[in-house]
Structure 1
Amino acid sequence: MRQYELVFIIRTDLEEEATEALIEKVRTIAETNGAEVTKLEKWGKRRLAYEIQRTREGYYVIMNFKGDAAVAAELDRVLKITENILRYMIVREDEK
């Protein structure tokens, strides 16, 4: 299994419960596809470097997980169609 890091930015106009539900949804998708979530950090609301979809702030979340390429592909597919995700990036970390 490979080590991956996922960073995603959630819209800030959502309620706190909806934000938590979205974070849990992403975590559940990773775990049901066979990944092991090693770390989940919620950075909170931060100002964006540039405006995205008329939004100046976003809620940042970083998730590290171990899994196969299929897990990263499934997360990519789901995050691409989720409208409350402003941006995301999945990066495979180098093996040490």
Structure 2
Amino acid sequence: MSEQRTGFYEVMVMLSTAVASDLAGAVAHINEIFQRGHAEVVAMRKWDERRLAYEIRGQKRAVYILAYIKAPKGQLAHIERDFRLSEKIMRAMILAAEHMTEDQMRAADARKELEVEAKLRAERAVAPESPAPAPAPAPAAEPAAENA
């Protein structure tokens, strides 16, 4: 039985703003794809949310998730295929992370911040809109003094 060579990879995933409204679910979906590809997530963070240069699937904005993974080289095609087939993911790109050490990747990990943002987005989506404040009543007119 031959041992598969593993390498470190940088993965950029683009999510629509609609999918990113459930950021925890989107991150869980990305992690599930990595698990199916036998990849270990070294670090993950939200990179940015920005306007796209052109529309993709009718979307004008996207949320970018940056992940660093350690994966068997033979599994990369499977991971890329799962990203392409996923309806939740607009685009994904996997590159060899030869420019960084594993320690640098781990230092870039912001999964805790990602969890906090996911909770905030979920709370914002669930919280009912607060009603507009009632207009202040007009000041009462002073009774006219009677002259006797």
- Specify the TM-score bucket, using the shorter chain as the normaliser: 0.7 to 0.9
| Unaligned residue ranges in structure 1 (runs of 5+) | none
Larger radius of gyration: 2
Give the alignment's TM-score, normalised by structure 1.
Answer: 0.82
Alignment of 1:30 onto 2:50: no
Partner of 2:19: 14
| Unaligned residue ranges in structure 2 (runs of 5+) | 1-5, 102-148
Structure in which a larger fraction of residues adopt strand: 1
Displacement of 1:38 in angstroms is: 0.8
Displacement of 1:44 in angstroms is: 4.3
Q: Determine helix, strand or coil for the equivalent of 2:18.
A: coil
Partner of 1:5: 10
1:39·1:63 contact (CA, 8 Å) conserved in 2?
A: yes
Structure in which a larger fraction of residues adopt helix: 2
C-alpha separation in 2, matches of 1:58 and 1:22: 13
Equivalenced residue count is: 95
Partner of 2:50: 46
C-alpha separation in 2, matches of 1:72 and 1:59: 23
Per-residue CA deviations over 1:51-88 (Å, capped at 9, x if unaligned) read 21221100110110011123322211111111221111
Q: Which has the higher contact order (CA 8 A, sep 6+)?
A: 1
Displacement of 1:14 in angstroms is: 2.9
Judged with a 3 Å threshold, the aligned counterparts in structure 2 of structure 1 residues 87 and 50 are, in CA distance, closer, same or farther, namely same
C-alpha separation in 2, matches of 1:54 and 1:16: 17
Q: Aligned residues: percent identity?
A: 26
Give the alignment's TM-score, normalised by structure 2.
Answer: 0.56
Per-residue CA deviations over 1:7-62 (Å, capped at 9, x if unaligned) read 01111123633x32122122133234432211101124211122212211001101
Q: List structure 1 segments (4+ residues) > 6 angstroms apart after TM superposition.
A: none
Judged with a 3 Å threshold, the aligned counterparts in structure 2 of structure 1 residues 10 and 33 are, in CA distance, closer, same or farther, namely same
1:30·1:71 contact (CA, 8 Å) conserved in 2?
A: no
Alignment of 1:70 onto 2:74: yes
